[in-house]
Structure 1
Amino acid sequence: MIIAAALVLLAQAPAASAPAADPAKPRPEDTEQWKPVPETVRPGPAVEIAPPSDAIVLLGSAGLGEWASVKDGTAAQWLFDKGVMTVKKGTGNIQTKRSFTNYQLHLEWRIPTGITGSGQARGNSGLFVASTGGGDAGYELQILDSYENETYVNGQAGSVYKQLAPLANAMRKPGEWQSYDIVWTAPTFGADGALKSPARLTAFHNGVLIQDNVVLRGETTYVGQPQYKAHGPSPIKLQDHGDPSAPISFRNIWIREL
């Protein structure tokens, strides 16, 4: 009888409530911007642009020799076939073996046909125009399927991730090649590590201006506000986001140092 009574009292006791969220703790959604939505601009047909005479070819017909694993510095393990490099899930981010400061970059990328998912889970990757450390450290220009795919505007294709929405949505359909053309001006720092001049970026997506000499507020962060930390010349990094439905492919990557 004592046990039965105790069970009755336990059943009548109010359920323990979940701990309240800490309003002072940053959340990913705090830095999402949903409006205004950039205008949709349909670009012209894809044209593969050959590298100029003074360019360094980072990805062409010769394979992945310019790329290494971010995790351990070994040879990049992504797939390569006839000039096309495709993310191999689980192998991690890759970055150039060379480091750069200011440059012009051309890069072509493709979301596969038949992609599923929505929002950020639809062909997610990233171009880090300067990789300042392991993982996702650096400054990211977002790669995503933004063709009729709603998400926060500072996280869609062509955004400086979590900082600056693109001026337009110039996305082609999945299965078609996309291009980024970028002018990157790296930040400069004093001898004490203090910021002297911020980073700037101009970018075209499929020939459409999407970032016009914008000033970055610091390195990319998923949670919290961007900040700068002193660094010098840096590799260029491509992200293995682990999206199982979208093995993103790249081709024709070249750079001109400025």
Structure 2
Amino acid sequence: MKRRFFNSILTFAGLAVISASGSSANAKEYLNGITWEEPAVVTPGVINSDPPSDAVVLFSGDDLSQWKVNDSWKVVDGCMLTGKGKAVSIPKFGDCQLHIEWSAPTPAKGEGQGRGNSGVFLMDRYEIQVLDSYENKTYFDGQAGAIYKQTPPAVNATRPPGQWNTYDIFWTAPKFDEDGNLVSPAYITAMHNGILILNHFELKGDTPYNRPPKYNAHDSEGPISLQDHGNPVRFRNIWVREFTPAQGEQTRSPFIRDGKKETPIESSGDDQE
């Protein structure tokens, strides 16, 4: 059957509906009155795990020049191998996107918290757990992908020892006022091997082992740090993007444009529920 196209305007429930092949200068249009800055152009990597053009690369397999570490941390076969003490990034970040890949020791040794234990710390104080949680039981808020002692991951997406795990972490840093009072808490969204495990989780504070979490005022930016827990965990392909939301300014009140008529939302009489 020959398809017909109509350039008519249909009205339903008091709203103008424009056909796909036509338009009308008389159709109602909602305008929010915000003047937006043009979003920056970022070139993605060849694949999603590659750092995009605006990323800060913390480890690409060559050296540890972006980290404060002692000599026990090594680069072995293009991987960052844990040593004694923490590895602390030299660059510091606030709100950010973090990509990091890790692999538990193989063959697997130990059990519970003694198997492939490490951790990724945002701002050097808020930990998402690294652990060999493949067929390895432990307390749930201490398994891989947990915000340590605060929440388990929604699911256990850990790959077998020797295979690589990926964390993609989206971090909103906590905010404090000039007197050190908490204005807004930290939030984290995280994917483990492409699977959503934390969705805008609100942290209760830092993530210590021996006391309840709490917030202490700190700078708006802090380093990424990696934990040594006595297990030879490997890391690779670590990069971070600083994140700034789209910027705009409310230059006039929201309004409805209907042809040449502009009606402010506050006095339009339209149902805004």
TM-score (norm 2): 0.70
Q: Once the two structures are aligned, what percentage of the paired residues are identical?
A: 51
Which residue pairs with 2:97 in the alignment?
Answer: 104
> Is the deviation greater in 102-111 or in 76-85?
76-85
> Is the deviation greater in 47-56 or in 100-109?
47-56
Residues 124/48 of structure 1: CA separation in 2 closer, same or farther (3 Å cut) = farther
Q: Secondary structure at the match of 1:65?
A: coil
Displacement of 1:62 in angstroms is 3.1
Which residue pairs with 1:125 in the alignment?
Answer: 118
Instruction: Tell me if 1:222 matches 2:215.
Output: no
Greater Cα radius of gyration, structure 1 or 2:
2
Alpha carbons 2:62, 2:75 under 8 Å: kept: no
The amino acid across from 1:242 in the alignment is: G
Instruction: Tell me if 1:242 matches 2:230.
Output: yes
Q: Secondary structure at the match of 1:120?
A: helix
Partners of 2:104 and 2:164 lie apart in 1 by 8
Q: Secondary structure at the match of 2:229?
A: coil
What is the count of residue pairs matched by the alignment? Answer: 196
Which residue pairs with 2:144 in the alignment?
Answer: 157
Gaps of 5+ in 2: 1-46, 244-273
The amino acid across from 1:56 in the alignment is: V
Which residue pairs with 2:190 in the alignment?
Answer: 203
Displacement of 1:172 in angstroms is 0.3
Q: Secondary structure at the match of 1:251?
A: strand
Displacement of 1:83 in angstroms is 2.4
The amino acid across from 2:76 in the alignment is: D
Out of 76, 79, 82, the residue aligned to residue 81 of structure 1 is: 76
The amino acid across from 1:110 in the alignment is: S
Which residue pairs with 1:54 in the alignment?
Answer: 54
Gaps of 5+ in 1: 1-46, 70-74, 132-137
Out of 171, 177, 181, the residue aligned to residue 158 of structure 2 is: 171
The RMSD of aligned alpha carbons is: 1.4
Runs of 4+ off more than 6 Å: none
Higher percent of residues as strand: 2
Displacement of 1:48 in angstroms is 8.0
Displacement of 1:130 in angstroms is 1.4
The amino acid across from 1:256 in the alignment is: R
